[in-house]
Amino acid sequence: MAFWTACLGKIRRDHAIEGEAQKLLQHRKVVQQSTHSALAKLLSEVQVLKQDLREVFAVYVNFATELENQSRLLLEQVSQTSYTLQGHHGNDVQILKAQMEALEHTLQEEKERSKTERERRKILHNTLVELRGNIRVHCRVRPVLPFDVGQGSTLALGPSTTEEVVQAVNDDTVVVNCARMGNPGLNKMFEFERVHGPEDSQDAVFEEVKPLLTSLLDGYNVCIMAYGQTGSGKTHTMIGSQTEDPTGPPREAQQGIIPKATTELFRLIAEKPPDSHLVEVSVVEVYNNEVLDLLAKDEDGVCIGDKRDVITTSTGTSEVPSLSYVLVRSAADVMQLISSVLRLRARCPTLVHRDSSRSHLIVTLTVSSKSPNALALARRLQSVKKDMQRKAQKEWWSPRCHRANPMARQSGDEHSISSSSSPYHSPSLSPCPSPRASISQASFRTKLQLVDLAGSECVGMSGVTGAALWETSCINRSLSALSDVLGALAEQRPHVPYRNSKLTHLLQDAIGGDAKLLVMLCVSPTQRYFTESLQSLGFGMRARQVQKYIPRRKNTALKLK
């Protein structure tokens, strides 16, 4: 029984397993069928895709070929067009070139015509200046320098303050660009006899001044005066720039008007008969409205700078009694003398300029000439009556001849004139006229005054205090006195206030007398000094309006007698 039960159980289990196997087989069949059908579907889709791809490729190939053909066509057209265009353009360029050349030619012609016109106008103007006795005004615009951008200064400067607003537009015009000062489009133009730009050398500046030296020997008094704001280049223009050795003379290329004028004067004298000219030098500074004789020496022969007065003589000219004069025989003598006394000149650093001169410096070269004409006249004059001689002596001799020169008495001074060893008696040194001296009476004296004025300045900008503030106010007052004198002369007022300051009193003869006066305006170019530059240019314009006495030759009076 147990056996049968076991067999029955086994049969049941086998049957169940068989049933399971049947089910699995059935499922496998189903899966196989669905896989086949999916595969068939996929294959058909692949076929479709393949067909599509073939078609797309065919389209692409067609398109590429077409594109290539079209590009080739276009390229041909472009090269054809560019070839055509080149031909046309070339013609246009040729035409334009020809037009430009023609324009350039016309421009060149116009330039030359305008240059000739300007020169003609300048000659006419100069003749007019000469005839009317006007003051000549030259202007020099200096280059922008490191201290303009605030180096070495406590002032912090913005870029606008260092912008160049003053420009020399040609050789007689300066333009100040006022646009930045709230006046859009307003430029101020100033015309002078000669304008120098920043690129102009010391030589170029002197070339324009040189003819005055010939005038000096022709018998005219001459004064050259540098005016301008502090740091604008007055000392550079008049004396020159310092070498490494500040006590030494300036290098030749950097030499200013004083050394160059002195050299030129002695060159001109060398062309004259020997011993026909004597040159004496005096050096004066006007400091805090005091006149100081920089050649005055103490007992040890050291220059000390003594105070002097300015007086008006009976003939109405200004004189400095007891002023020291030193006889010089060469330009080197003059420069050595000037260099030796320059250390006495008042200087003070300001915020604008480290080596600012605080005084007006006046170097005077007095030339005594004995021309052959004058000699002949003197011989003839010896025979005229005594009273005529006395009258003539009064006119020919200035009060300087009646005083003894202190320098002449100083022993051991190689520059001092000794009347006995002198080739002829210098009028300034002869104690009084004698019959023997009548020949020397025929000589005439002319003065060359070379003036380096102290700089006009704004107290706020220079940042000075205390004693330096007093110096500044004295400088500004003396310069405004100078301006007042020019104003009075320009307006031909009956009273000219020469005596309002020592400076104007001292320079009275040069400003209002019959001297040939040249004002050298020095101007800084940057926006920082805009107001001061306008003021200086205005001063120059005022000076130009002055009609002085027509410059008179010093020997004409003799010839007429």
Ligand X SMILES: Nc1ncnc2c1ncn2[C@@H]1O[C@H](COP(=O)(O)OP(=O)(O)OP(=O)(O)O)[C@@H](O)[C@H]1O
Residues in the site for ligand X, rule: CB under 6 A? 142-143, 145, 228, 230-236, 241, 353, 355-357, 454-455, 522
Q: Which residue has the tokens 């030759």?
A: 553
Q: What does R_g of the chain's alpha carbons equal in angstroms? A: 48
Q: How far is the CB of 115 from ligand X (least distance, A)?
A: 25
Q: Which residue has the tokens 């100069």?
A: 126
Continuous H helices in 436-465: 438-441, 459-462
Nearer to ligand X, 430 or 524 (CB): 524
Nearer to ligand X, 242 or 330 (CB): 242
Is 228 known to sit in a ligand binding site? yes
H, E, C per residue of 59-78: HHHHHHHHHHHHHHHHHHHH
Q: How far is the CB of 484 from ligand X (least distance, A)?
A: 20
Is 383 known to sit in a ligand binding site? no
Q: How far is the CB of 256 from ligand X (least distance, A)?
A: 8
Nearer to ligand X, 342 or 496 (CB): 342
Count the neighbouring beta carbons within 10 Å of the beta carbon of residue 353. 22
Is 441 known to sit in a ligand binding site? no
> Whole-angstrom Cα distance, residue 251 to residue 150?
27
The SS3 call for residue 98 is helix
Q: How far is the CB of 151 from ligand X (least distance, A)?
A: 12
Contacts of 197 (CB under 8 A, 6+ apart): 141, 167, 168
β-pair partners for 222:
448, 516
Q: How far is the CB of 524 from ligand X (least distance, A)?
A: 9
| Spatial CA neighbour of 461 closest among 236, 289, 178, 229 | 229
> Whole-angstrom Cα distance, residue 256 to residue 240?
4
β-pair partners for 450:
224, 363
> Whole-angstrom Cα distance, residue 155 to residue 511?
38
Is 229 known to sit in a ligand binding site? yes
The SS3 call for residue 318 is strand
| Spatial CA neighbour of 198 closest among 524, 479, 489 | 524
Specify whether the backbone of 345 is left (phi greater than 0), alpha (psi in -120 to 50) or beta: beta
Nearer to ligand X, 231 or 427 (CB): 231
Nearer to ligand X, 236 or 528 (CB): 236
Structure tokens at 148: 């303009």
Nearer to ligand X, 438 or 476 (CB): 476
β-pair partners for 229:
456
Nearer to ligand X, 148 or 193 (CB): 148
Is 371 known to sit in a ligand binding site? no
Q: How far is the CB of 165 from ligand X (least distance, A)?
A: 17
Nearer to ligand X, 171 or 413 (CB): 171
> Whole-angstrom Cα distance, residue 453 to residue 458?
16
Q: How far is the CB of 250 from ligand X (least distance, A)?
A: 10
Three-point CA angle 213, 399, 402, nearest 5°: 115
| Spatial CA neighbour of 258 closest among 241, 246, 278 | 241
Q: How far is the CB of 352 from ligand X (least distance, A)?
A: 7
Nearer to ligand X, 451 or 522 (CB): 522
Residues 407, 396 contacting (CB under 8 angstroms): no
Is 233 known to sit in a ligand binding site? yes
Nearer to ligand X, 48 or 467 (CB): 467
> Whole-angstrom Cα distance, residue 428 to residue 280?
9
Nearer to ligand X, 378 or 534 (CB): 534
Contacts of 288 (CB under 8 A, 6+ apart): 470, 471, 474
Nearer to ligand X, 152 or 182 (CB): 152
Three-point CA angle 42, 44, 47, nearest 5°: 110
Q: Which residue has the tokens 């595969």?
A: 39
Residues 483, 542 contacting (CB under 8 angstroms): yes
> Whole-angstrom Cα distance, residue 305 to residue 308?
9
Q: How far is the CB of 361 from ligand X (least distance, A)?
A: 10
Number of alpha carbons in the 13 Å side-chain half-sphere of residue 368? 29
Q: How far is the CB of 453 from ligand X (least distance, A)?
A: 8
Q: How far is the CB of 234 from ligand X (least distance, A)?
A: 4
Is 460 known to sit in a ligand binding site? no
Distance of CA 501 to the CA centre of its chain: 29
Q: How far is the CB of 353 from ligand X (least distance, A)?
A: 4
Residue 91 identity: N
Annotated binding site for ATP: 228-235
Annotated binding site: 228-235
